[in-house]
Structure 1
């Protein structure tokens, strides 16, 4: 097998913890939808096994898992065109994750910056899952022989680790190119959406104030209010992009406008350069309501019928297993794991 034989296949996922924000939409889901119509097989996952690396209330986790699935569908992910499922319903993820725990090196994990950020000074008290989850993330991707992984800039290191694990597995077991060298896809004007009250911080589900973020469940009035009250500075928008370099709040709002309107940042500045916030922020609020309010309305409709969400996720998990199981069994054969009768 050579790398060229791998089907062009996209895999990515979102963790169901704390609710979806505009950052999830612009940095991930909108891009997933855009890739759905291209020359890839697209596989999208609600990564609930990753969510439990920190404590989750069981009832809230089930709700959040359905809500993320609703967010995918309401945003335009078509379960008949893409494979959409939740991770826990495809046990092959955890099985391959264990094999990769035995391939990945401790030194690699120690270099993962997201673990350091999340664990902080309490690294000795966090779960082993939080430390080791990058190898499960590698399993999520390689279980499908995915060739492309749309991620935000802060996830690029995890894709690099996935490539390291694939390379070491192939070399250790003389498996040639069994696992492909997947490529991160980092593109678009708002792959990293920042806090509406502090442009130096990423928009987060867990921020102190709800005014810091746009939730994908916010209604039209709330979306408009948050953008109109977003922090800015006294200066009008600059005439060129260079003028945004030291203005994080202004740059963030321009990025968001560009992403929502499918424009370049340069085109936004060409249209609004020299204008004050009294013109730009209402325009941004109107655009955001136009693009996001229908999604929140559809999410609510879907969440009122959880059985339908479960039906779609079950169908997706069956399709995912059809791809995953042969790859997992071949992996077991390569490793030398005995399964009598198989």
Structure 2
């Protein structure tokens, strides 16, 4: 059985894009893989943060993942397992500046003000490599925007193996679902759905009530044209494409099937159908998330037990890596 590692930043309740892009896939993967799912709270420090908010958001994210169907024995928070930081430092010393300079996500996040950003934001791809390789994970579900970081992780692993004269770290294979939904903002179809968008109307979060889900879909931006029968008719209509893509992903249909189903209809009818579908699927997740948030002691216990399991897997691997680089043990 191959080992899978994946992580999500606990920067608030996950939204619909996180659910369709990652969480739903995690629930499927855990059925036939040895999975570890991590709330990467150390990565959260690479951008401005509030300690109180980080603690609360980590628990809220835990509740939401459990409510979505994640096995509690596979879930933990990154900072509770020292192997991440220890191997991350070794990889800081293995990785090359030239490799990091090519990472496009740092350029996107830092923008023109890169000199004022933390060193953590610059080197976080090295920590991401350590997150995976501390467990000798061989498969990682990622979106296209993370493919470059996975390539860097393999470069780091290969350089470590070469420098130490061993075949210790395995090759990592990206798991990119062939039809993964790219969910965009409900207010602007050209931008990804994001927790950081200032408009709460731009996203559906996984603890929204049924009424909130329906209201956000009703107010989602659209255009005046009826729905087309073929994908070519979505050219230049990003909001229409986004809502149809969401419907297709939630109903496990192809975009072509959804276009055939709603061809010629207006958005009033379609939005009602989409709202009904989202409420049916997500309202139970929201209800369970709120129930779990009322028992924070239970959430803490889940994370503690998950961290114990993660330490049991990672400790022998990272201890051996430390011996290989020359640390006394």
Q: TM-score w.r.t. structure 2 length?
A: 0.97
**Which of 320, 325, 332 is residue 315 of structure 2 equivalent to?**
325
- CA-atom RMSD in angstroms: 1.3
| 2:276 equivalent to 1:276 | no
> Who is 1:167 aligned against?
158
Deviation at 1:152, TM superposition (A): 1.8
Deviation at 1:34, TM superposition (A): 1.4
Please, which runs of 5 or more residues in structure 2 have no aligned partner? Answer: none
1:68-100, CA deviations, whole angstroms, 9 ceiling, x for partnerless residues? 1111100001224xx110001001100000001
- Given that 1:46 and 1:86 are in contact with CA atoms closer than 8 Å, whether structure 2 keeps it comes out as yes
**Which of 202, 208, 212 is residue 212 of structure 1 equivalent to?**
202
Secondary structure, aligned partner of 2:115: coil
Secondary structure, aligned partner of 2:6: strand
1:270-316, CA deviations, whole angstroms, 9 ceiling, x for partnerless residues? 32223221221110011011111111111111111010001011111
**Which of 291, 313, 318 is residue 301 of structure 1 equivalent to?**
291
Structural mapping, 1:143-292, within 5 Å: 143-176=134-167, 178-187=168-177, 189-292=179-282
> Who is 2:88 aligned against?
97
**Which of 97, 118, 128 is residue 119 of structure 2 equivalent to?**
128
> Who is 1:3 aligned against?
none
Secondary structure, aligned partner of 1:65: helix
How many residues are paired up? 329
Larger fraction in helix: 2
- Separation in structure 2 between the aligned mates of residue 275 and residue 36 of structure 1, nearest angstrom: 39
Deviation at 1:201, TM superposition (A): 0.4
> Who is 2:26 aligned against?
32
Deviation at 1:19, TM superposition (A): 3.1
Please, which runs of 5 or more residues in structure 1 have no aligned partner? Answer: 1-6
1:189-214, CA deviations, whole angstroms, 9 ceiling, x for partnerless residues? 44421111111101111112111111
**Which of 48, 54, 57 is residue 50 of structure 2 equivalent to?**
57
Q: TM-score w.r.t. structure 1 length?
A: 0.93
**Which of 20, 38, 44 is residue 45 of structure 1 equivalent to?**
38
- Separation in structure 1 between the aligned mates of residue 46 and residue 308 of structure 2, nearest angstrom: 25
Secondary structure, aligned partner of 1:250: helix
- Given that 2:43 and 2:124 are in contact with CA atoms closer than 8 Å, whether structure 1 keeps it comes out as yes
Deviation at 1:226, TM superposition (A): 0.5
| 2:56 equivalent to 1:66 | no
